[in-house]
Amino acid sequence: MKIVLAYSGGLDTSVLLSWIKEKYHAELIAFCANIGQEEELQGLAAKAKATGASKIYIDDLREEFARDFIFPLIQAGAIYEGQYFLGTSIARPLIARRMVEIARKEKADATAHGATGKGNDQVRFELTAAALAPDLQVIAPWRDASFREEFPGRAEMIAYCQKKDIPVQASARKPYSMDRNLLHISFEAGILEDPWMDAFAPRNKGMFKLSVAPEDAPDKPEFVTIDFEAGNAVAVNGKALSPLGVMKTLNRLGGKHGVGRVDMVENRYVGMKSRGVYETPGGAILHFAHRQMETLTMDREVMHLRDSLIPKYSEVVYYGFWFSPERLALQAFVTESQKNVTGTVRVKLYKGNIMVAGRKSPVSLYNPRMATMEADPTQAYNQDDATGFIRLNALRLKVAARVQRKLSHG
């Protein structure tokens, strides 16, 4: 049997690699995706081999992540439960897709992951595999009772590694778990399980990696321009950039000014509520600026229809259905809606805030001469027409009011 394992080189995946190999008498192929986690990948291949992998793939997927996953998400205006920019949710289908591709190439029988049985990631990994390779088996050790019995805590994992001569560096356990990629960093569990605990209190400053606290941000605001073409950011401050370049630049600028921090209690797909703290500096700027570009260039009815679909689109992504027919159908509508979302937005960053400071477009639908409160030189809008417009819209309200009056007077 041959199995492709999502591998990071940390304690958990090192134990998983050895344990799965032993239990299934299998050949293990390790896979690590570079999606902007900024972890040290040097020496990972040697560590995987020493742990028992026959081969390891270390793939730089950052550009693909930005272009094919983050940017379509931004075009859709997606934000889960009004706050979460979907940073972890959107990364999982990319990792799982690459695992399937490697499994096909290596003629593997299964993929394996280290997601727990309580979270969303197990669903995201496995729904992607089901959509792209329904014949592949998926192995999830944390849902195996024998694995949980053998490893009830970190101490047992460390002892296992020592016994098996697995090269892991046992570090002090952080009082929370962290996941980082190009779009965000998420923090959860541990001390964050108390929703009354203030994650942004000065004593917790050391937790954050991408952004300074708003109170520590520069006292002078910074203006940033973002150019859009058909709904995608193509330049920052006049400099043409790839999607990866856009994300890296906006992360740096946003982090400097403390923007994009979120603390929320969210509804997991598996049925429980969880508390998550997020840093999404670049994504927050991009989401805000994109909306500003749409206000100038998008038709009212198209915008309202797209906006009505944001909760559904966000839910589909959060739940792990990126490769589902409904997400593809929604994306087709989103792509069509973005054809004229072209122009430039200027934003002001200041102490955790993102404020609009201007927008312009060669295909702007805003006509100041028509919208002016002064005399309309175009004569395109005749105010007298509004009388009939209001009368017709008021007709059903008047009819209902008369009926209700009759009923109330017996």
Q: Give the tens place of pLDDT for each residue, 108-129.
A: 999 999 999 999 999 999 999 9
Percent of residues, the chain, with pLDDT higher than 90: 90
Check residue 247 and give its pLDDT: 98
Residue 405 tokens, joined: 């009056």
In 23-164, DSSP assigns E strands to: 27-34, 53-60, 110-112, 137-139
Is the pLDDT at 410 greater than 80? The verdict is no
Is the pLDDT at 170 greater than 70? The verdict is no
For 145, which DSSP code? H
Say which range, 27-36, 302-311, 401-410, has the weakest mean pLDDT. Answer: 401-410
| Selection from 57, 2, 9 nearest residue 33 by Cα | 57
What is the model's pLDDT at position 340?
Answer: 97
The residue behind tokens 């910074």 is 222
Residue 201: φ, ψ to 5°: -65, 150
Residue 167 is predicted with a pLDDT of: 87
Give me the active site residues, please: 12, 92, 121, 177
Q: What is the pTM of this model?
A: 0.94
Rounded mean pLDDT of 217-229?
98
Q: What is the pLDDT of residue 171?
A: 66
Distance CA 167, CA 225 (A): 47
Helix (H, G, I), strand (E, B) or coil at 124: helix
SS3 at position 384 = coil
Which pLDDT score, from 0 to 100, does residue 175 have? 86
- Least confident range from 101-110, 205-214, 374-383: namely 374-383
Non-local (6+) Cβ contacts of 265 within 8 A are 195, 273, 274, 275, 276
Over residues 174-189, mean pLDDT: 93
3-state SS of 170-239? CCCCCCCEEEECCCCEEEECHHHHCCCCCCCCHHHHHHCCCCCCHHHCCCCCEEEEEEEECCEEEEECCE
| Closest alpha carbon to 166 in 154, 158, 156 | 158
Q: Where are the beta strands (DSSP E) in 269-342?
A: 273-279
- Identify which of 5-14, 288-297, 399-408 has the greatest average pLDDT: 288-297
Cβ 281 vs Cβ 289: under 8 Å? no
